């Protein structure tokens, strides 16, 4: 996992949405989590993608609960 321009370590990760998902579900190592947090707090582009990813995950979970309740 490579983090970048905002923290002086290189380019933004191409798979930032995948990394955001892993972060959201607590699947990153402590080091990966720390680098991810440092990067997306300093990089507006990645921060926006992270926010969109989190919103999608939350909307998907809500929709899944609605489907379960409706019995569909």
**What's the domain count of the chain?**
1
CA dist 20 and 18 (Å) reads: 5
Domain of 28 in residue numbering reads as: 5-70
> In this structure, is the dihedral angle defined by the CA atoms of residues 51, 20, 67 and 65, taken in order, positive or negative?
negative
Percent of the chain residues past pLDDT 90, beyond the cut: 18
CA dist 55 and 15 (Å) reads: 17
Looking at residues 15-31, what average pLDDT do you find?
86
Inter-residue contact 40 to 46 (CB < 8 Å)? yes
The model carries a pTM of: 0.60
Looking at residues 11-32, what average pLDDT do you find?
84
- pLDDT score recorded for residue 15: 80
What is the number of residues in the chain?
72
Q: Quick check: 33 pLDDT over 70?
A: yes
- pLDDT score recorded for residue 59: 94
Residue entry with tokens 């489907």 = 67
């Amino acid at each position: 996992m490579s983090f970048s321009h905002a923290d002086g370590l290189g380019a933004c990760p191409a798979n930032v949405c995948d990394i955001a998902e892993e972060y959201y579900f607590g699947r990153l190592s402590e080091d990966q989590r720390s680098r991810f947090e440092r990067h997306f707090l300093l990089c507006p582009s990645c921060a926006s993608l992270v926010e969109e990813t989190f919103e999608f995950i939350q909307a998907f979970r809500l929709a899944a609960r609605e489907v379960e309740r409706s019995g569909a």
